[in-house]
Amino acid sequence: MIALLLVACFSQGNAQKVIDPELRTLFTPVKTGMHHHISVIKGASNEAELALGAAFYVYKTFISSQDMPSCIFSPSCSQYAVDAFQQKGLITGWLATFDRLSRCHGLANPAHYILSPDKKLFYDPVH
């Protein structure tokens, strides 16, 4: 019985060595062109930026990644919010984010935005 168990273990080890090169390609990360969300946390200069950056990271990693892409803009609304806070400050960043979220719906007028042909999304960066 023990001999059969040892033979079974060694035969699986040899088979695993043969299969491993083929399986390695299944687990290689795919480059999606998305922003590096952790950089928001690394670039924080105070506790408030760290807290907002951590909230953004948790949202993008665990919540937004589970949904189908629904934002009609590039960059996405969450990335736009981070950019708005970084470029415009707290109050103006909140206003710019609210404005952007109020415009992100399927009835947006295409004449007001530039269509990005490669992403098939409306290009609307922070100004």
Structure tokens, 48: 């408030």
Summarize the confidence of residues 40-62 as an average pLDDT: 78
Minimal CA–CA distance to 126: which of 92, 91, 87?
Answer: 87
Residue 30: its pLDDT value, please? 45
Nearby residues of 94 by Cβ (< 8 Å), 6 or more positions away:
85
pLDDT digits (tens, 9 = 90+) for 102-121: 999 888 888 888 888 888 89
Summarize the confidence of residues 34-55 as an average pLDDT: 72
pTM: 0.62
- Between residues 48 and 22, the one the model is more confident about: 48
High-pLDDT (> 90) share of the chain, %: 18
pLDDT digits (tens, 9 = 90+) for 69-81: 788 999 888 889 8
